[in-house]
Structure 1
Amino acid sequence: MITLSVAVSTYTYEEAYEESLNYFGGDELAARVWVNKYAMKDSYGNIYEKSPEHMHWRIANELARMEKKYPNPLSAEELFKLLDKFKYIVPQGSPMTGIGNNHQVASLSNCFVIGVEGAGDSYGGIIKMDEEQVQLMKRRGGVGHDLSHIRPKGSPVKNSALTSTGIVPFMERYSNSTREVAQDGRRGALMLSVSIKHPDSESFIDAKMTQGKITGANVSVKLDDEFMTAVTNNQSYTQTYPIDSENPTTVKEIDASQLWGKIVHNAWKSAEPGVLFWDTIIKESVPDCYADLGYKTVSTNPCGEIPLCPYDSCRLLAINLYSYVNNPFTPQASFDFELFKDHVGKAQRIMDDIIDLELEKIEAIIKKIENDPESEEVKRTEYLLWKKIYTKTGQGRRTGVGITAEGDMLAGMNLRYGTEEATDFSELVHKTVALAAYNASADLAKDRGAFDVYDAKREENNPFINRLKEADPALYEKMVKYGRRNIACLTIAPTGTTSLMTQTTSGIEPVFLPVYKRRRKVNPNDVNVRIDFVDETGDAFEEYTVFHHKFVTWMEANGYDPSKRYSQEEIDELVAKSPYYKATSNDVDWLMKVKMQGRIQKWVDHSISVTINLPNDVDEALVNKLYIEAWKAGCKGCTVYRDGSRSGVLIATESNKEKDKDKSTQGEQASSSVLTNPEVVKRPKVLEAEVVRFQNNKEKWVAFVGLYEDRPYEIFTGLQDDDEGILLPKSVVSGNIIKNVDENGNNRYDFQFVNKRGYKTTIEGLSEKFNKVYWNYAKLISGVLRWGMPIDQVVKLVGSLQLDNENINNWKNGVERALKRYVQNGTRATGTKCPNCQNETLIYQEGCLICTTCGSSRCG
């Protein structure tokens, strides 16, 4: 047993990386992800753990400390065995980062929803929501909130504006706040929603179709059954404001099919809005049995898998399904349901322990706020926010037990994803999760007490509870007798970077590589037996991907010799025999996938985060069919992504006279973003400039980026060194780069900014302030920028530079990070694969690379 309650040893990045590399069996990506995102650190970047083993002992010791408060406690050793190697139980990002880390003041919750009590349609209410959103994001939380309380555009207001601007300007406000908040190398995450009943819902649906607007938020529209029925029956629909009022001030009759067509078109074109089938969510919601006590669901978290009431939150955990497959890929493959049920129960128990740990974290946050030097007036909103979250967390004790590796589990069981047989098995697994988790919560209630407002009478007519009652009458009787420890228990969330460390797929999404057409070669001399495949365009995939490893595992399990040279026909036959055949995003029957989601949803009390990935050439009719089927199948929400759709829409503006251009041409435009006639652009004497600050390996860096037509034209970057004269106040984020020429014809570049008092301040000889070698490389990169190379290609070029020492490589990384923020949102990172799912479906979003297949993100 390793005790890490008081961590005093620190490790260099290299020490932690090498130890983690050994832990992950040489997987460099997994090692870097763990060190960068999950190793225990303080606010100065000092690392206190050198491998995931230390982390798992840290978590196990803290969980054991909570266990000792209650009867029949689990030991740290038992808990460690469940966590070790990410084999069985995997706490998600915030719990993994924060449990036992006393060096930072942060929450363990992944998801929050905020809202207003009573009327919130005022600038006071809107600004309060804005501050609450920021305060949560800075503690590492994703936030969701609903805008249905804001009066529609044109409504009278009792201020000098006379009429309301409607919802859209406030969407921009909240989006911009998200973009401002940093979360240890990633930005905040936001979900904005609105009811279809709101008269401004059409403007909401259209808002993200404008280039550069609302880039810091996901948007989803809440659809009620009345609207969906009107759509399917081609009827009219009535919108009102307030949306639930019996005496609305605004009433608007609309053509439901017309508005539905816009939802489908925008989703087809830009992957948003997502849709939330709100009546299904509310009808199935167990917490909404307590709506009058403050548990009325109003919105979801950014990924949509946790519908929440205001000021409630949820922590997430995933169970690795593949680890319960015995003899995977063989005719003897079986699923160990007994071990699985035992571990699901322990996962629910662990989640309840994490609630107690979260309450401690919230107490620490409140204590910090009390001790902060600001006035009580300044601190009031943040203080009251966390007080409300503390109450909701302790009163309802909501948890988020989920799964990962469903696709791998099915393959290991020799079941092909998307078939009826595979769907039947998945439903059985999720039914087992639901029954085991709720049994565990009832047992916890017996030992630890039920959640504060539990009332069996309130839940009598809830469809989810009655489903459990029918499947396991003894469980229901146990709940009636002892209550339940947790108001709700289950979800399926995207597992993101944690799946890199488990080396599994994410959620219920099949993330195998796309389109394998033929075998290219098998190298019998390679220890790893790397197999190259080419896709349908003839481009070779990188060697030894996750798929190759699994395919080789399948070959060995079925008696094939991976070192043998197989003929083209033989390899085609092998691929066709494997459970991975026809299991890619493009191969899966999308309607079957929606039906599978609906069947699984019946055993998940929260929701399921899943995106239906479609090829570029599908038409809008298919999106329409998928959304309708999702509603009929009982899904609580649905999102589609058509390959390349974002790059096409994000370059469109009102001034674009060529809206009907071929989609592929639009995509090229999004990727290019070049200067007009770059060969004739002469550098002006004065260029507007932005200041970009960041940390790289504990060092403070600064970049001055000169802009021409809002596009990077030149860059100066290096270490921020006060001794060398870079005395730049933290408040300075922009200025001018001025080119001066001395009497000898030598160029000098100065940076000029306006200080807080309004006086101009000049840093002379900007190019002389940094390392000479860096400056020479910067001149080369600036030359490439001036001649109009697309920014994403400049980023790729800089990233590919092979430099000869660590310092200059750190500088190169700084340049790359500074330039990424200027890549247009939606630009596809061509030729680059997602390190998680290996699909070539990465797009740039706010300087980060986002995978549109599995949802993982990488910043910096």
Structure 2
Amino acid sequence: MYYPSEFTPSSTVFQQPIAEQIWQAKYQYKTAARDVDYSVHDTWLRVARALAKAERPQDRPGVEKLFYNAMDEFKLLPAGRILSGAGTARDVTLSNTFVMKSLPDSVDGMMDVFKEAALTMKMGGGLGFDFSTLRPKGTLVKGLDCPAAGPLAAMDICDAICRMLVTGMGRGAMMATMRVDHPDIEDFITAKSDPTRMRNFNLSVLISDAFMAAVEADADWQLVWDGAPVRSLKARALWQTIMRQNFDAAEPGVLFVDRINAKNPLNYLETISATNSCAEQPLPPNGTCPLSSINLAKLVRDPFTPAARMDLEELKRLTSVAVHLLDDTLDVSRYAVEEQRIEAQTKRRIGLGVTGLADALIMLGVPYGSDASVALVDTWMRSLSNAAYLASAELARTRGAFAAYDAKMHMAQDCIRQLDPDVRAAIKAHGLRNATLTTVAPTGTTSMLGGNVSSGIEPIFSTSYTRKITEADGSISSQVIEDYAVALYHRIHGRDAPLTEAFVTVSQLAPADHLRIQAAAQTWIDSGISKTVNCPEDIAFDDFADIYREAYATGCKGCTTYRPNAVTGSVLSA
């Protein structure tokens, strides 16, 4: 690919074979005739040029350079849909995250939504649905004089559609949610006990504040439909069903839906009842949001020395560039459904987060989950949040605030009130270009692309591990992979140097360590966080059973657990 003189590719090379394999399999642009991207630098330049087309012609060269330099050396990692789709001839979306419109309680209505879902999946979008709107199984269907099949039957249909739609970017992924007071909630909770059923769905229960209070009080809990009670059970018994199913099959997750809506900066305009497939992005019907992550492991200066530190100025600079990049993404992306495009343009949601957090802590000599790590996470995420909102206010000054912006209502939101005074002043003066700005997404393949840095805000799984890889022909292979911080430490200190106590892995962490980091980050994240509390297979159920209650108590918006089990198996093995 031709590089203008102002672009000087770095000497970046893939540090592990897995990184190059990921690039070749997922992000290198190839056509039937030829390779278009000959190196990862070509990929960055392709993406930069494609997104800069949202700019005025005279501004494009400078913006291209800005975006390219941010991605160079894997400092800024746009999400996979952007890396694989931007600047290509593929009919794909650049957003990973979608929530479909509310499901009507009718065959015609459901099928219309499922068709739109199929079109969205075909373009590469991951989806969320709230199945709470469908009548319970056995309810009489007027006009047919027969019992309703229920929400789970509709989920089976949607799962089959998703299974059929295998694209070049991989199989689709979906999230299904259901209110904790729906009469079919017990069947929903246990739906994936069968290892062959609903494999394209993640499941999350919408947990209300009232339910959590009922659990604490050991009170009765009413299951209702159409405003009328259907039956009653003990709240704690239902809670135990959720936790036992998690222990046995790693699902469902929980979403604290009242907190999600109370903390949503757009709660004056919308009600949220679903998230995207990995739960980091709560969205309204037809909602969508492009994603990107800043690689914190690349911003540590003098790693593994007493002078090791996070470059906060570089973090702020990259944050500003990333907000600009994601705002442009909204304008150049394709959308499968017109209502999705309208929703995106009206509210201009973006989702900027971080990856490599655990590796950054290790490089600073700080164990994951410690008091010092919580303080650092708070500092880093506060810096990112303030820089993101300041950048969005500056874009609003030059481009205008998002169309649905209500200055009085937005300024009253908690996420705005906690910002630094100068940032609040900029928002008051100019408004915001983007309704929401911050998200912590799972960054599995993009983190491996960046040198196998730790994913999102997760701890490192192991210093080295074996990962199952799906090959182009569908076969499964295994590969030994070394963590980024481990590999860097060995390059600096030698292969035989013993690792420090900061090299904390999942097997050494208690569930509370996970939750402390998640809660510290959530304080500064206006959307959600994809985070899994990994537990050892031999954890006692009594120790496991309170994880979700602790997540609620610490202020998280949701939580997911994973314990190796016979139903789901394991992707990684130490």
TM-score higher than 0.5 here?
Answer: yes
- 2:13 is matched with which residue? 24
The code of the aligned residue for 1:179 comes to R
**2:367 equivalent to 1:634:** no
Does the residue aligned with 2:93 lie in a helix, a strand or coil? Answer: coil
Q: Is residue 95 of structure 1 aligned with residue 82 of structure 2? A: yes
Aligned counterpart, 2:408: 457
| Match in the other structure for 1:355 | 330
**1:111-153 deviation line (CA, Å, top 9, x unaligned):** 110123xx81111121112212111100001010100110112
Listed as ranges, the gaps of 5+ residues in structure 1 are 5-19, 243-247, 363-384, 517-541, 651-825, 829-833, 842-860
In structure 1, the residue matched to 2:433 is 485
Report 1:225-624 matches (<5 A).
225-242=209-226, 248-291=227-270, 296-358=271-333, 361-362=334-335, 386-468=337-419, 472-503=420-451, 504-513=453-462, 545-547=481-483, 550-551=485-486, 553-554=488-489, 557=492, 560=493, 562=494, 574-575=498-499, 577-580=500-503, 583-624=504-545
CA distance in structure 2 between the aligned counterparts of 1:221 and 1:257, rounded to whole angstroms: 15
Letter in 1 for 2:139: S
| Matching residue within 41, 46, 67 for 2:30 | 41
Cα distance between partner residues in 2 of 1:351 and 1:141 = 16
Mapped to 1, the partners of 2:447 and 2:222 lie a distance apart of 44
Larger relative CO (CA 8 A, sep 6+): 1 or 2?
A: 2
SS across alignment from 2:147: coil
Q: Gapped runs of 5+ residues in structure 2?
A: 466-477
Secondary structure of the residue aligned to 1:434 is: helix
Task: Report how many residues are paired.
Answer: 556
| Separation in structure 2 between the aligned mates of residue 275 and residue 345 of structure 1, nearest angstrom | 32
Q: Distance in 1 between matches of 2:316 and 2:259?
A: 28
Contact 1:399 / 1:486 at 8 angstroms: preserved in 2? Answer: yes
2:106 maps to 1:122: yes
2:449 partner amino acid:
M
Decide whether the 8 Å contact of 1:601 with 1:608 is kept in 2. Answer: yes
After superposition, give the CA deviation of every residue in 1:727-765 in whole Å (9 maximum; x if it has no partner). xxxxxxxxxxxxxxxxxxxxxxxxxxxxxxxxxxxxxxx
Cα RMSD (Å): 2.5
Structure 1 residues 662-699: Cα deviation after superposition (integer angstroms, max 9, x where no partner):
xxxxxxxxxxxxxxxxxxxxxxxxxxxxxxxxxxxxxx
| Mapped contact 1:289–1:462 kept (Cα < 8 A) | no
Name the amino acid aligned to 1:265. Answer: R
Greater Cα offset, 59-68 or 147-156: 59-68
- 3-state SS of paired residue (1:193): strand
Residue 62 of structure 1: CA displacement? 2.4
Question: Deviations 1:20-48 (Å, cap 9, x if unpaired)?
Answer: 9x963573322222122111234x47432
2:173 is equivalent to residue 189 of structure 1: yes
Alpha-carbon shift at residue 619 of structure 1 (Å): 2.2
Output the CA distance in 1 between the equivalents of 2:141 and 2:126. 32
Please give the secondary structure, in 2, of the residue aligned with 1:148.
Answer: helix
Following superposition, the deviation at residue 156 of structure 1 comes to 1.9
Deviation at 1:161, TM superposition (A): 4.6
Instruction: Choose 393-402 or 620-629, whichever is displaced more.
Output: 620-629
Deviation at 1:595, TM superposition (A): 2.1
| Contact 2:463/2:482, CA 8 A, preserved across alignment | no
Quick check: 1:514–1:586 contact (8 Å CA) kept in 2? Answer: no
Alignment correspondent of 1:2: 2
Q: Is the 8 A contact 1:67 1:73 kept in 2?
A: no
Q: Distance in 2 between matches of 1:324 and 1:396?
A: 31
Distance 1:210 1:417 in 2: 35
Q: In the alignment, which residue of structure 2 is the partner of 1:819?
A: none
Shift of 1:167: 1.6
Does the residue aligned with 1:289 lie in a helix, a strand or coil? Answer: coil
Partner of 2:573 in structure 1? 840
**Distance change >3 Å, CA 438–CA 72, structure 1 → 2:** farther
Please state whether the residue corresponding to 1:288 is helix, strand or coil: coil
Query: Secondary structure at 1:392's aligned position in 2?
Result: helix
In structure 1, the residue corresponding to 2:403 is in which secondary structure?
Answer: coil
CA distance in 1, matches of 2:559, 2:425: 34
Structure of greater Rg: 1
**Post-superposition offset of 1:485:** 0.0
Matched, 1:212 2:196: yes
1:482/1:26 CA distance change after superposition, 3 Å? closer
SS of equivalent to 2:349: coil
Distance 1:37 1:545 in 2: 18
Q: Sort the Cα spacing of 1:420 and 1:486 in 2 relative to 1 into closer, same or farther, 3 A.
A: same
Partner of 2:90: 104
Letter in 2 for 1:29: I
SS at match of 2:203: strand
Q: How many Å apart are 1:543 and its aligned residue?
A: 11
Tell me the distance in 2 between the aligned counterparts of 1:121 and 1:148: 10
Structure 1 residue 323, shift from structure 2 partner? 1.5
Q: 1:827 to 1:639 in 2, by over 3 A?
A: closer
Q: Which shows bigger deviation, 229-238 or 431-440?
A: 229-238
Q: TM-score, normalised on structure 1?
A: 0.62
- The Cα of 1:599 is off from its aligned counterpart by 1.9
